[in-house]
Amino acid sequence: MDKSKLSLELYKKVYLIRKSEETIIKYYMDDDMKTPVHLSVGEEAIAAGVCHATGKDDQIYGTYRNHGIYLARTGETDNFFGELYGKKTGMAKGKAGSMHMFCPECNFLGTSAIVATCIPLGLGGAFAKKYKKEKGLSFVFFGDGALEEGAFWESLNFACLHKLPIIFVCEDNGLAIHSHIKDRQSFKSITDIVSKFGCNVFKEKSTDPEVIHNLTLEAIKKQKENGKPCFMHLKYYRYLEHVGINQDFKFGYRSEDEFKKWLKVDPVNLQRKKLLKIGFSEKEIKKVETEIDKQIDKSVELAEKAPFPDCEEVLTDVYS
């Protein structure tokens, strides 16, 4: 892909995520979105960088902090806001809410609010690809907390044993709700350990979406070369509280100074500056942003106006 076009596409994705999350923040106190939100602010480079490297045959599995990857993968906001507002127009008719975003049409096949529980699903998706000799990879997103769950190690072991087409994407923000990684993990380098399973490993601290995108392409290439699963260890900083729309530095479990350091390399600003540097005009960028703003505003309006699901829906979809 043309370098400048890639930069623009990645900017569109990070901007869509940031703006969508800001829109949730703007309206959340109206109390019409009655669903706990774990916002992706700060995580945009990973969501956009990895998802932009995926093709239509690839699958995505994620966590409760899924807005970023959902938006980066689907690009759509009508069903997204419909779901947040609990309306019939949501992708799961309001049954799923923020923590269970889902879009089988885009091979976005499951997100979960129990840490590490979607990893085995992604394993099954990868298994199905190998079994049916189908193209594509299974991308499984999870946080650093998942590294303490048995499901992660069980899945890693099986994936490596059977050489399944899977990319494990660890989004490491150093926090499990409010618990620091140093108080939870005895190991220093997860990539060292994972590599011993026969897994290709990659690690990156950059918040530059292009760096993450290129690293993902490298992982995909490596997986195709040697058939082994890949593990990507990617650092980012969670700007807001674990769940909700507020900053939480006043509670003292982490310092605002650290946040300020990360803010200097904010993924959205970084990518915007890059666009200016490679020759996009302020006007051109503004035009792209306005289009996305309009898309989101329209989706919010639709979601607000949409009807709630019929009461009978409580008992549908339990069984096929």
Partner 1 sequence: MRKITFQEALNEAMIQEMERDKNIFVYGLDVTDHKRIFGSCKNILEKFGKDRCFITPLSEDAMTGMGLGAAINGLRPIHIHQRVDFLVLAMNQLTNMVSIHRYMSGGKVKVPLVIRAIVGRGWGQSSQHSKSMHSIFAHIPGLKVVLPTTPSDAKGLLISAIRDDNPVIFLEHRWLYFTEGEVPEEPTPIPLEEPNILQSGDDITIVATSWMNVEALKAAEVLAKRGVSIEVVDPRTIAPLNDKLIIDSVNKTGHCIVADNDWIHCGFGAELAARISEKCFNDLKSPVNRIGFAQAPCPTTRPLENEFYPNAVNIIREIEKKLELETTDLSREEFYSWEKRFKGPF
Per CB under 8 A, residues contacting partner 1 are 59, 61, 90-93, 95-96, 100, 102, 104, 109-110, 112, 114, 117-129, 131-132, 138, 150-151, 154-155, 157-158, 161, 316-320
Q: Which two tokens stand for residue 19?
A: 């703006």
Residues with Cβ within 8 Å of residue 139, at least 6 apart in sequence: 50, 51, 54, 58, 59, 60, 61, 122, 166, 167, 169
Measured from the CB of residue 130, what is the shortest distance to partner 1 in angstroms?
A: 9
Q: Which residues contact 10 (CB under 8 A, 6 or more apart)?
A: 48, 49, 52, 209, 210, 213, 271
Q: Which stretches of the chain are assigned E, i.e. beta strand? A: 59-63, 108-112, 138-143, 166-172, 175-176, 179-180, 200-204, 230-235
- For residue 248, CA distances in Å to 99, 139, 178, 242 come to 21, 31, 10, 9
Helices (H), 75-149: 78-84, 119-131
Q: For the CB of residue 176, give the shortest distance to partner 1 in the complex, in Å.
A: 17
Q: Which residue, 7 or 112, is less far from partner 1 as judged by CB? A: 112
Tell me how far, at minimum, the Cβ of 97 lies from partner 1, in Å: 9
What's the closest the beta carbon of residue 242 comes to partner 1, in angstroms? 19
CB closer to partner 1, 161 vs 177: 161
* Residue nearer to partner 1 on the CB measure, 11 or 61: 61
The CA–CA distances, whole Å, from 200 to 19, 106, 216 equal: 34, 26, 12
**Least distance from C-beta 153 to partner 1, angstroms?**
8
Cβ atoms of 152 and 116 within 8 Å: the answer is: yes
Alpha carbon distance 43, 268 (integer Å): 10
- Give min distance, CB of 113 to partner 1, in A: 8
In the bound state with partner 1, the residue whose beta carbon lies nearer, of 131 and 253, is 131
For partner 1, the closer of residues 209 and 309 by Cβ is 309
> Among residues 104 and 227, whose Cβ is nearest to partner 1?
104
